[in-house]
Each structure stands twice: as structure tokens, then as C-alpha cells.
Amino acid sequence: GQQVMQIPQYQHVQEGEDFTTYCNSSTTLSNIQWYKQRPGGHPVFLIQLVKSGEVKKQKRLTFQFGEAKKNSSLHITATQTTDVGTYFCAGPGEYGNKLVFGAGTILRVKS
Amino acid sequence: EPEVTQTPSHQVTQMGQEVILRCVPISNHLYFYWYRQILGQKVEFLVSFYNNEISEKSEIFDDQFSVERPDGSNFTLKIRSTKLEDSAMYFCASSPRGGGNTEAFFGQGTRLTVV
């Protein structure tokens, strides 16, 4: 079945350092979404990418969708303690009725 | 801002008991979902629901699980006879359009503990 892989599983950075998480799908995706889950919280939508090669920015966050629409990345510049949480990528399931989540990358930030 | 609400926030139940988890999706949304997350693991799809019927379900969603939209606002997940491995955080979500092609709005979750 369709799989969405995400690396790294865990990253611990010093405040001010950059952070990147990578997402890879076993199939071509019509879109990819990114969610953030704070510790003890629920997934919250960050962004959706639709076009091949698309790059979107939200303040210190930069999201990319690969040319082949099978991979994506989220880069955070100059991390802050408020960035702490788990970042998930998610793509549509085969029949479009669900989201298939990656395993997530846990980000911890040392101040 | 509209949000998905779930009750209860935490439920402890004995193995073999039935539980009903409740959700109120965002009012103008048409697509509803249940996902679960075992502690520290990824978010797993259980079931999607549209137009008063299941549109897709996962292998996890076996005969012990059922969903219902008993009225115009509530969306429930029933587990008939809970097992220890059903212990997880259960998230309800809704979206204005179908499935994986639009933003999903998640509720705060119900933590189910089966003892």
C-alpha cells in the first residue's frame, strides 16, 4: 500500500539553529500537507503544496514540493522554543478519502 | 474560529466494555474522519464518512468499530468490545471537501485507556 516516509525521527537543536525534515512518498501525490502537533496537542494544519517544484514560505518556515511530486521538505530557519513539537507530512490516500501521515519528526529546541 | 470538539477528553474503560467517543465537526463541513495515534507514534487513519455513509475504512477498523452521525451535528465512534491495544488518542477531523485533497481540521482528541 501507499507509504509516506519521514526523516529524521527526532532532532534536538540549539535555539537559533536551523532544522529540516524530509518526506518521501512511495507514489506520486496530487498534493502534500504539513501539520504541526505540539506536545500533548492535536495536529494543526500548516500548509498544502500542490504544484511540482512549489516553494512556499511562512515567516521562518520554508516548504518545498519536489519536481516529481513524491517528496517534500520543511525547513525552519533560526529555531525558537515555540517551534517545539512534531512535524508531520501527509498525502492523500489512493482513493482520496483520507490522509496518509508520515511518522513525524520530533523537534526539541534547547534554549 | 470554528473548531472540532471532542468529548470526553479522557476515558478509562475496562477491557471488553463498549465505549462511544463523540465529536462535533465544524458545521459546514461535509467530510468526517476518525484517526488514532498510539503514544509517540504516527497518526493512523481509521475511517472516513461522507453523505451518511463510510467512504473508506482501514484494516484497523474491524467489526468492533462503528461510526454514526445520529443527528445533524454529532459524529460518533463506537468500539464494541475494547481491547488493551485500543488504548490510544483518538482524533476526529472534518474537512469542507474530500479526503486528502484539502486541509483537515482536527479536534483536541480523546485519550482512551483500556485497562
| B110-114 vs B10-13, strand pairing mode | parallel
Could you tell me if B43 lies within 8 Å of chain A, comparing CB atoms?
A: yes
* E strand map for chain B: 5-7, 10-13, 19-24, 31-37, 44-50, 53-57, 65-68, 75-79, 88-95, 105-106, 110-114
* Phi then psi dihedrals of residue A16, to 5 deg: 100, -20
pLDDT at B70 over 90: no
Distance CA B39, CA A56 (A): 31
Grid cell of A80 as nine digits:
525558537
Give pLDDT < 50 ranges for chain A. none
Residue A98 has its nearest CB partner, among B100, B105, B108, at: B100
B-chain CB neighbours of A90 within 8 Å are 43, 100
Confidence of residue B98 (pLDDT cuts 50, 70, 90): confident
